[in-house]
Amino acid sequence: MSNDRATSTPFTKGLGFFVVLGIALLIILGIFVSPADVNQGESVRIMYAHVPGAWLAYLAFVMTAVSSAAYLWKRTRSLTWDRIAGASAEVGVLFMGISLVTGSLWGRLTWGTYWTWDARLTTTAFLFVTYIGYLAVRGLGGTHQQRARRSAVLALLAVLEIPLVHFSVELWNTLHQEASVAGRGTDVEMNGLMLFTLFLGVVVFTLMYIWLVLHRQRSLMLEDMLDDSGLDNALSERRAEATQVGH
Amino acid sequence: MSNAGQQRFTGTTVIGTARLIAAKDLRVELRSRVLLNQVLPFALIVMVMFAFALDSDAVLERVAPGLVWLAAMFSTLIMVSRSFAVETADGALDQLRSAGVPAMGIFIGKMMALMAQLVVLVTLLILTAVVLYRAELSWAGSVLLVTTGLTATCGLAAVGTLYGGLAAGAKGRETLLPLLLLPVVAPVLIGATRATESAFGTRGVSTGQGWPWLGLLAVFAVLFSVSGAVAFGPLLDD
Amino acid sequence: MSNAGQQRFTGTTVIGTARLIAAKDLRVELRSRVLLNQVLPFALIVMVMFAFALDSDAVLERVAPGLVWLAAMFSTLIMVSRSFAVETADGALDQLRSAGVPAMGIFIGKMMALMAQLVVLVTLLILTAVVLYRAELSWAGSVLLVTTGLTATCGLAAVGTLYGGLAAGAKGRETLLPLLLLPVVAPVLIGATRATESAFGTRGVSTGQGWPWLGLLAVFAVLFSVSGAVAFGPLLDD
Amino acid sequence: MSTVSHGHDPATLEPVVDLCDAVAVLGSFPALAGVTMTVQRGEIVLLSGPNGAGKTTLLRLCAGLVALERGRGRVLGVDLANDRELVRHRVGMIGHSNGLYGDLTVTENVRFWGRTVGASESEIDLAVSRMGLDGRLAHLPVSRLSAGQRRRTALAGLVARRAELWLLDEPHAGLDAAGRDELDSVLKMAATAGATVIVASHELERAGKLATRQVEVIAGQVRKVAGL
Amino acid sequence: MSTVSHGHDPATLEPVVDLCDAVAVLGSFPALAGVTMTVQRGEIVLLSGPNGAGKTTLLRLCAGLVALERGRGRVLGVDLANDRELVRHRVGMIGHSNGLYGDLTVTENVRFWGRTVGASESEIDLAVSRMGLDGRLAHLPVSRLSAGQRRRTALAGLVARRAELWLLDEPHAGLDAAGRDELDSVLKMAATAGATVIVASHELERAGKLATRQVEVIAGQVRKVAGL
Ligand code: HEM
Ligand SMILES: Nc1ncnc2c1ncn2[C@@H]1O[C@H](COP(=O)(O)OP(=O)(O)OP(=O)(O)O)[C@@H](O)[C@H]1O
Ligand SMILES: Nc1ncnc2c1ncn2[C@@H]1O[C@H](COP(=O)(O)OP(=O)(O)OP(=O)(O)O)[C@@H](O)[C@H]1O
Ligand SMILES: [Mg+2]
Ligand SMILES: [Mg+2]
């Protein structure tokens, strides 16, 4: 029984090992090996956390939406999907937070300010808060089914904000002549090692995402199971109560 | 009474329900006059207060359209919470649900009633802005303005009703609703502001530049009207 | 039990009641975590949204302190309505009134609980602003900032509790409260903004120029604390 | 009220409520811990039992408002496990709260609830007078009524809905002697016309006179079943 | 509960409630149209009468919650026309709503209401167990209780307040048989210890057994007074 309570399996242990290894490698490559950027100098190294953070947050939120849809579809309805959705959203909020923090640090170094009221930044902040709202709705209480249904609907709506964040740059610039941000988009010239490091960052963040979601999903399941295995006990307790009253 | 058996099911259709609910909401509003006596003054105060906070004429001229929509948005917030407070005060929403009244009808009805009230409000706000800031409206500008007003209002009403229903049953709904609503309506705020700016010709923006923003508003309105109508049932259900 | 007769009246004193009510409110907050999970994100989004609506760096730098207090004000609004929703959900406020619990004690208790939560909120908002706008704080500036924060918070809590109680019994309270509160807190908004500006040194305002504004805030806080404590009884009574 | 025709095939004779070892969970608490019960068409069943026994939950389960966690359950031929939404518009339930709009008058409230199932104007008037609300009260806003008058309004709304299965949670509470008599006669007429009635109540003497059968709920289970 | 000492001078023997032609207006409706009634210390009075007669309003008048529009009224020696606030903390009233905080547990709610009059911890525990709420229920949040359990919690809060005059508006509604017995014994003990109890109720058999006297309210006036 006590083994069931752990959230790790041999697979997640192995995965955890690779994650730690990957982070170490990323730090080495990102900070010591990869070159400084022509325009941005050393500060470009922030990119290796910032960009994977944002992308993985997107992935996490899409995953939340997909599992929510799977939950809502009658044939695949299962609370497992709901827990995956919840776990994924939590990890997504974490990654989005990483991206926000690293982004504003980067902004301090390159633009001279932590925050500016650019469309990308603002929509990112909206996205972040939307998922905090999603988590708040998950925490409202009620039965598991209730929680699952409410939050699934919300997740399907919230995911629509991602294109808004992604295309905000163009949407905004086409109509509004704000100074466009240097280094934004694909016009950055990257050398091979930089590109590889970025790629590594994405891989490492992906592994980290899987690892975190697996753990979180399992611990959510244990919480639910506590309630459900609680159910058998509670049922027999409640039945016993009836016999007491009967006599 | 033999024909009553046939008649009975009219009320259970989506359209019938929507009409019933909208009529009820508007009647409650007519009795309590909350829009006129409370929301409208509130919206005006919001506009004036921000104007004060900015306190420089040059800035103000530029942000006037934004103020209209800011006020509209906050008014939506309080009107939605009022609209659902009426339903939950004595458990009527529960009762509707337990009577098997089609959720889609409830959504459409409440959204229509909210939209009707919002249209009145937004019209008055825009008129105020036109008068206060001596905006000059061309024909093309007026068309854009009216279309923008209707589309944005529709979007606000749809998303407000959807999240209002979600928060209605929850405890702490007073705080949950603004949290859910604000980040989602922000695009409406931006789109409507830009479209209004170009209708007014603020900052030398031409009218033509407003139409793409209207597209954004229309997408938003359609998206939330449809998904609201579909998702309202599952949201209310527990 | 003979000494119980003496003990009994401790709970009916103003201070005893205030402590009881404040403890109860904070316990409800601790259970529901509304401040952390809902109000705080809401306040942040309000800040971001306004900043975005203004959308020009030059303006923004100037109005950053204003954004802090704008967000604080809207948060006060929803926290007050939450605070009284807890009381009216099952008629507890009526019950308090009918139990002859001193209204002054209820006022002070609820105000204290609200203020405690607002202090947490405002602290976080100011820290955010400091980081975002690279405000550099001198010693004198910090002292001014802390004093401003406490005084303004006290004023917001006092006036919020007073009008919250007034609106609590009324129907349409969701819309009445904002209408009542907004115009009254406008001076707090302005005073706190100016004082914060001079603490931050925004627009080259010196720290010294902030203190008179603080005076205004203090007058406001004292005025509404005292009149709230006195008027709360008659207000609740109908 | 007199002619409630449900289009049932009388040959089927399936019980209106048919629960077998039904379990329902609130939060994580098994409010119903295995209920087995059948109710036939035209019966008036009294649910009794101590506070917290699960009477309200049992009524809500029959109304399709609470999920069936385990066991089997059919109401009006609808399977509760899969399509519990489908049963709702055929059931009329009145719970602890009245579901009234304070700004609308008594008649307007009753009309609203009647209209949700397309009741005609005359049916609505009939329902209002059945619960003794005609005259001065009919055009008063509900917010100005006394507790008992409000309860009567809610019951009139229920009457106007002419359901096939009536579920009433402590309907007598708050009603005066005349109101109780009116309610009882309404329920008896409904049962005679082919509806089925389940009443949860603590007023055993009163409800006992009305009911044809008593079912006692204890700790989430049905314990005693007594014919009356 | 056993020793409620009120510091009254027994020599005075003023009635606890003394109304003479009292008129009370709700909105513009004269809910009480001239009530004359006296209640002596230690009595348990049952208020009966049809819906809308004015029972709730009469109780609220005695509690100092409704203004006395005309006539004279004294409660516990306090003049209702001038200082009705002064009577409130000596009166314990329970109305149609319970006044509970859903996020707090049963004990926390009772403690809160007890503390408003400085009740000690042991008195609070006693009140909780008096209404049969000890054990599992005591530490459940009130939002998870059934209707009757919630009513019991509200009554326990009232018991913890040990008032001199108890005003109860349909206190039996929602309580099961055991709860009714518990409540009745609590009320009888309070009356024996020198408190005065007025109960509005439609359950005449039940409340009739408890009360020492019945007062019938009809259309805002006291009609019949019957010793029991
Ligand atoms: C708080 C500040 C910032 C935030 C919230 C932020 C947010 C984001 C987000 C959400 C993305 C993913 C975009 C997508 O693919 O849809 C992204 C990508 C990116 N960001 Fe940032 N960012 C910030 C600051 C910066 C700064 C200062 C720089 C560089 C000067 C920067 C450079 C990039 C680059 C190069 C990408 C990847 C390319 C792209 O898809 O646009 N970011 N950022
Ligand atoms: N949200 C909830 N979470 C957990 N338990 C709950 C919840 N709601 C009710 N319960 C429990 O479920 C049980 C059954 O409640 P129910 O309301 O069905 O009882 P009841 O028989 O109607 O009682 P009463 O006679 O008091 O109305 C109670 O013991 C109650 O404590
Ligand atoms: N706010 C109000 N405005 C006008 N009339 C009101 C208001 N509230 C109550 N009334 C009227 O006052 C009368 C007395 O109400 P009250 O609640 O005292 O009756 P009651 O005897 O307690 O009835 P019940 O047995 O139904 O509880 C009722 O006829 C009611 O219509
Ligand atoms: Mg019940
Ligand atoms: Mg009454």
Contact call for residues D163 and D195 (beta carbons, < 8 A): yes
Report the b/e string of A160-173 with b at 16+ CB within 10 A.
bbbebbeebbebbb
Q: How far is B188 from chain D (nearest CA, A)?
A: 32
* Tokens read off for D179: 């109101």
pLDDT on residue E7: 46
Q: Given pLDDT bands bounded at 50, 70 and 90, which one contains residue B58?
A: low
The pLDDT score that the predictor gives to residue E14 is 82
On chain C, the residues whose CB falls within 8 A of the CB of A114 are 131-134
pLDDT tens across C193-211, in order?
888 888 877 666 677 777 8
The model's confidence at residue B60, banded by pLDDT at 50, 70 and 90, is: low
Beta-strand ranges (E) seen in C64-184 are none
In a domain, C189, yes or no: yes
**Who's near C123: CB < 8 A, 6+ residues apart?**
C149
Is some CB atom of chain D closer than 8 A to the CB atom of B171? no
ipTM of the modeled complex: 0.88
Q: Which run of H or of E encompasses D48? A: strand D44-48
Q: How confident is the model over E64-122, as pLDDT tens digits? A: 889 999 999 999 988 998 888 888 888 999 988 899 999 999 999 999 999 888 888 99
- Indicate the domain borders of chain D: 2-227
Judge: C179–B41 Cβ closer than 8 Å, yes or no.
yes
Domain span including residue C113: 13-237
Question: Is the Cβ atom of E52 under 6 angstroms away from ligand 3?
Answer: yes
- Which of C45, C179, C190 lies at the smallest CB-CB distance from B38? C179
The pLDDT of B121-128, averaged and rounded, is 91
d(CA E77, CA A61): 68
Q: Is the pLDDT of residue C125 over 50?
A: yes
Contacts of C191 in chain B (CB under 8 A): none
Ligand 1 neighbour A102 (Cβ under 6 A):
no
For E181-225, the pLDDT digits (tens) are 999 999 999 999 989 999 999 988 888 888 889 999 999 998 877
Per-residue confidence (pLDDT) for residue C5, from 0 to 100: 39
- Pocket-testing residue among A45, A46, A58, A106, ligand 1, by greatest number of atoms within 8 A of Cβ: A106
Are B151 and B218 contacting, i.e. CB atoms less than 8 angstroms apart? Answer: yes
pLDDT exceeds cutoff 50 at A101: yes
Would you call C174 and B54 a contact, using CB atoms and an 8 Å cutoff?
Answer: no
- The rounded distance, in Å, linking the Cα atoms of C39 and B18 is 33
A201 with A33: CB under 8 angstroms? no
Distance from the Cα of A23 to chain C's closest Cα (Å) equals 28
Q: How many domains does chain B have?
A: 1
Please report whether residue C204 resides in a domain.
yes
D112–B contact, CB cutoff 8 A: yes
Residue A108 has pLDDT above 60, yes or no: yes
Number of Cβ atoms within 10 Å of the Cβ of A243: 12
Neighbours of C213 (CB within 10 A): 23
Instruction: Give the tens place of pLDDT for each residue, A66-99.
Output: 999 999 888 888 888 999 999 999 999 999 999 9
CB crowding B200-223: b at 16 or more within 10 Å, else e: bbbeebebebbeebbebbbebbee
Tell how far the Cα of B180 is from the centroid of ligand 1, in angstroms: 25
Residues of C with CB under 8 A from a CB of A: 33, 37-38, 41, 44-45, 48-49, 51-52, 54-57, 60, 131-134
Give dist(CA D206, CA A201) in Å, integer.
Answer: 75
Mean model confidence pLDDT for chain A: 81
- Contact between chains at D177 and E203 (C-beta distance less than 8 A): no
Element (H, E) at C173: helix C173-200
- What's the rounded Cα separation, in Å, for the pair A192 and B175? 50
How do the domains of chain A map onto residue ranges? Answer: 10-177+191-224
Question: Could A143 and D27 be called an inter-chain contact, meaning their C-beta atoms sit closer than 8 Å?
Answer: yes
Could you read off the pLDDT tens digit of each residue along chain D, which spans 228 residues? 344 444 444 445 788 999 999 999 887 788 999 899 999 999 999 999 999 999 999 999 999 988 898 899 999 989 998 888 888 888 999 988 899 999 999 999 999 999 988 888 999 999 999 898 988 889 999 999 999 999 999 999 999 988 899 999 999 988 999 999 999 999 999 999 989 999 999 988 888 888 889 999 998 899 877 665
CA distance C2 to chain B (A): 43
Closest CA to C194 of C145, C133, C122, C139: C145
Average pLDDT (C122-142) is: 79
Residues A143/A108, Cβ–Cβ less than 8 Å = no
Whether the per-residue pLDDT at B86 is higher than 60: the answer is yes
Query: Confidence band (pLDDT; 50, 70, 90) for C115?
Result: very high
- CA–CA dist E16, E62 (Å, integer): 10
Residues C168 and C84 sit within 8 Å (Cβ to Cβ): yes
Q: Is residue B1 domain-resident?
A: no
- Tell me the CATH number for domain D2-227: 3.40.50.300
Residue A179 distance to chain C (closest CA, Å):
11
D65-111 pLDDT, tens digit each: 888 988 999 999 899 988 888 888 889 999 888 999 999 999 999 99
Cα–Cα distances in angstroms (integers) from residue C28 to residues C23, C35, C108, C157, in the given order: 9, 11, 17, 18
